[in-house]
Amino acid sequence: MSRVSCGAVALSLLALGACDRVKPEAPGTKPMATGDVQAAALASYVKPGDQDQYYLFYSGGHSGQVFVAGVPSMRHIFTIPVFTPYPGTGYGYDEESKAMLGDFTWGDVHHPAASKTAGDYDGRWLFVNDNANNRIARIDLRDLKTRQILGPIPNTMGNHGSSMVTENTEYALVATRFSVPMGQAYAPIEEYATKYKGAVSGIRIDSATGTMSLGWQIMTPPFNWDLGATGKGPSVNWAFWTSYNTERATGKLETTSTQKDRDYVAVVNWTAAASAAAAGTGIAMVSGVPVIDPAKTPGVMYLLPCGKSPHGVDVDPSGEYVICSGKLQPTSTVFSFAKIQDAIARKSFTGSEDGIPVLKYEDAMVMEVPVGLGPLHTQFDGKGYAYTSLFVESAIAKWKLPPYAAGADPKAMVVDKIPVQFNVGHLVTAHGDTRHPKGDWLVAMNKMSKGRSIKTGPSIPESSQLIDITGEGKMKMVYEAYTEPEPHFAQLIHKDVLKNTIEFYPKAESHHKHAIWAASDAKVTRNAARRTVEGTVFAIRTYFEPGRIQVQEGDTVILHITNAEQARDEIHGFGLVTFDKNVVIDPGETKTLKFVARKSGVYPYYCTNFCSALHQEMQGYLEVVPRGTPLALYQNGTGLMRAPAEGRRAMQADGPHADHAGAGK
């Protein structure tokens, strides 16, 4: 290893600590010129106290979370737990979030999709899929919290082709990656080609609340649906999914599913599907969902041949061009939506698959652009260019979208290429899947970083690289950041879109039936017959009320804890020592903690989130009284715990509580 020589760079970069950087061991990039280093450093530098321009919401893959970074700094600023418990925010420990998670402890988040109005991000919700347990979740962008998990979605195994939001967030459209027999039935794998089915599904979204419900499904041949895109503008009523294994093969797919030169893009009219489901004709109910057989419902689905084993499909900002890239062929194919419609109108079909008409490739194709090796996903800048990630080549290709002059040379459409480190999967541009991309930043989410970071043992962090795409010609590498496993797609959203994020939960809006707003309202009651203790707990800087809770060994305890603060970031936690419980309550929030007091003893509870100078003093005691011992704090050993104010005075007399002054009473 050798030190990067500082020289002239020192001038402006000393302050950034650039001189001690260690040269990467990994191959791949030409060293940047000094001037470029300076320009790049300044472009991504957000000085302490300044704020980023963009939110990068990137999927956390099998961590089950969504990570939030600021762009251009690329600093990780927040984690939104979705399918996985996360003690940092107490997610998965309170009854409300436990109910959402059900019995699952993880998920596999691949594709976040922000809600849209007229094809542009509206800052309301973020939908993310769970590829592992067939679910879809809604994050509220008002508070950046997971608010709903829907699923498992029936007739779906591997909810990968998800989540695609329609232009006005009427639906999140999803597709199953694996095909299985419908209705949770069993059929041996030998019957794969005939008895197994795929499905694309419409998840309805309530326009006022964002609440998701199952709309309808379209039964498909047993292809593997990969990734999708919703239309916009002229293609607004349509959605597209790529497939692999249109061979309907089993066994070692690396050979059995790569026989054909072309697989298909599903071309789906989701408004026609919705009407068919509403009309009910030709619909079979399977596992409680209206399932449309496209063979019996003409007009809902067509198949368009596309380059071998395609992965990504993307629709350009105008909604006219559909770009599909075959992993095993070095081109991105541009299709024209108008030409697709024309071919459908003329019934120019080459055949059918299980009754679904197959379009003619040549009818719809505009150009095969030779972007490079292993093209996966495409994003846009709103200035007439597309950016395609090249997995095998480990690069991003920038290329020109149509219209093309007659006889234009496809090779000449590729205007720039930039290497990334290494093996990019997804990429995202600012507002890149909307009608109005911003055209300034691109983030390459690389699958491997191969020794770019300091050593972290056998497993090394994933790398994400920030690329400046403002220039007319060349892209510029600006910054490299690392993240938890494992980013797939992301949404890069301007901060102004999220201007309605809240600072605390207003007391006036609290609908929790157990919320309390004064220490004197805290109370704990015990039902001796049911061996249940239920209470309301008041949390504020810097005490809990009650500071002492008595239960009997074996009791089930339910505590509704309200953080009565009405100030931003005044968060209190409720950690119960040895109980494996940590509830974190944001200002104005009420959460429910439930547990069984199995073993007698005294168990402190304490605030887990540093909230003030007396944070450490914010504690109390759960007394678990041995069976047969009377519970002194309750009238008759049952009923209501003694008056909270008294209880607290007693605590002050014999406990370590110091100062409750200024605690918002």
Under the rule (CB under 6 A), what is the footprint of ligand CUA? 542, 572, 607, 609-611, 615, 618
* Min dist. Cβ of residue 331 to ligand RUQ (A): 17
Q: Which does 561 bind (CB under 5 to 8 A by kind): ligand RUQ, ligand CUA, none?
A: none
Q: Which does 488 bind (CB under 5 to 8 A by kind): ligand RUQ, ligand CUA, none?
A: ligand RUQ
* Min dist. Cβ of residue 565 to ligand CUA (A): 9
Nearer of residues 264 and 603 to ligand CUA, judged by Cβ: 603
The burial class, CB within 10 Å (0-12 / 13-18 / 19+), for 525 is middle
* Min dist. Cβ of residue 311 to ligand RUQ (A): 6
Which residue number has the CB closest to ligand RUQ? 425
Nearer of residues 377 and 431 to ligand RUQ, judged by Cβ: 377
Q: Which does 227 bind (CB under 5 to 8 A by kind): ligand CUA, ligand RUQ, none?
A: ligand RUQ
* Min dist. Cβ of residue 534 to ligand CUA (A): 23
One DSSP character per residue, 430-471 reads BTTTSSS---SEEEEEES--TT-SSP-SSS--EEEEEEE--S
Integer Cα distance of 428 and 443 in angstroms = 5
Q: Which does 431 bind (CB under 5 to 8 A by kind): ligand CUA, ligand RUQ, none?
A: none
* Min dist. Cβ of residue 34 to ligand RUQ (A): 34
Q: E strands of 489-589, at which residues?
A: 490-494, 523-527, 532-540, 543-545, 548-552, 556-563, 572-576, 581-585
* Min dist. Cβ of residue 577 to ligand RUQ (A): 41
C-alpha neighbours within 13 Å on the C-beta side of residue 564: 22
Integer Cα distance of 149 and 158 in angstroms = 15
Nearer of residues 9 and 126 to ligand RUQ, judged by Cβ: 126
Nearer of residues 533 and 611 to ligand CUA, judged by Cβ: 611
Integer Cα distance of 415 and 473 in angstroms = 7
Integer Cα distance of 272 and 297 in angstroms = 9
What DSSP element (H or E) covers 171? strand 171-175
In three-state secondary structure terms, 40 is helix
Q: Which does 607 bind (CB under 5 to 8 A by kind): ligand CUA, ligand RUQ, none?
A: ligand CUA
Q: Which does 111 bind (CB under 5 to 8 A by kind): ligand RUQ, ligand CUA, none?
A: ligand RUQ
* Min dist. Cβ of residue 657 to ligand CUA (A): 13
Nearer of residues 149 and 614 to ligand CUA, judged by Cβ: 614
* Min dist. Cβ of residue 177 to ligand RUQ (A): 9
Q: Which does 609 bind (CB under 5 to 8 A by kind): ligand RUQ, ligand CUA, none?
A: ligand CUA
* Min dist. Cβ of residue 62 to ligand RUQ (A): 11
Strand partners, 40: none
In sign, the C-alpha dihedral spanning 65, 69, 74, 76 is negative
Q: Which does 610 bind (CB under 5 to 8 A by kind): ligand CUA, ligand RUQ, none?
A: ligand CUA
Nearer of residues 148 and 542 to ligand CUA, judged by Cβ: 542
Q: Which does 618 bind (CB under 5 to 8 A by kind): ligand CUA, ligand RUQ, none?
A: ligand CUA
Nearer of residues 561 and 633 to ligand CUA, judged by Cβ: 561
Integer-rounded Cα radius of gyration of the chain = 28
Nearer of residues 177 and 591 to ligand RUQ, judged by Cβ: 177
Which one-letter DSSP state was computed for residue 579? T
Both tokens of 180, joined, read 């299985």
Nearer of residues 231 and 312 to ligand RUQ, judged by Cβ: 312
Q: Which does 277 bind (CB under 5 to 8 A by kind): ligand RUQ, ligand CUA, none?
A: none
* Min dist. Cβ of residue 559 to ligand CUA (A): 16
Integer Cα distance of 203 and 136 in angstroms = 9
Nearer of residues 443 and 607 to ligand CUA, judged by Cβ: 607
Pairing of strands 171-175, 135-140: unpaired
* Min dist. Cβ of residue 488 to ligand RUQ (A): 4
Nearer of residues 303 and 571 to ligand CUA, judged by Cβ: 571
Q: Which does 425 bind (CB under 5 to 8 A by kind): ligand RUQ, ligand CUA, none?
A: ligand RUQ
The burial class, CB within 10 Å (0-12 / 13-18 / 19+), for 556 is middle
Q: Which does 642 bind (CB under 5 to 8 A by kind): ligand CUA, ligand RUQ, none?
A: none
**CB–CB of 611/570 below 8 Å?**
yes
Q: Which does 109 bind (CB under 5 to 8 A by kind): ligand RUQ, ligand CUA, none?
A: none
Integer Cα distance of 223 and 614 in angstroms = 60
* Min dist. Cβ of residue 613 to ligand CUA (A): 10
Nearer of residues 593 and 611 to ligand CUA, judged by Cβ: 611
Which residues of the chain form contacts with ligand RUQ (CB under 6 A)? Answer: 110-111, 160, 227, 311, 376-377, 425-426, 488-489
Overall size of the chain counted in residues: 665
Q: Please list, in sequence order, all residues whose beta carbon lies within 8 angstroms of the beta carbon of residue 222, skipping any fewer than 6 positions away.
A: 179, 192, 193, 196, 197, 198, 245, 248
Nearer of residues 231 and 620 to ligand CUA, judged by Cβ: 620
Integer Cα distance of 581 and 595 in angstroms = 9
Q: Which does 615 bind (CB under 5 to 8 A by kind): ligand RUQ, ligand CUA, none?
A: ligand CUA
In sign, the C-alpha dihedral spanning 250, 173, 423, 78 is negative
**CB–CB of 177/111 below 8 Å?**
no
Integer Cα distance of 332 and 400 in angstroms = 11
* Min dist. Cβ of residue 618 to ligand RUQ (A): 43
Integer Cα distance of 558 and 536 in angstroms = 9
* Min dist. Cβ of residue 140 to ligand CUA (A): 24
Integer Cα distance of 325 and 177 in angstroms = 17
Nearer of residues 106 and 621 to ligand CUA, judged by Cβ: 621
CB count in 10 Å sphere of residue 22: 10
- Phi-psi category of 183—alpha, beta or left, where left has phi over 0 and alpha has psi -120 to 50? left
Q: Please list, in sequence order, all residues whose beta carbon lies within 8 angstroms of the beta carbon of residue 352, skipping any fewer than 6 positions away.
A: 295, 358
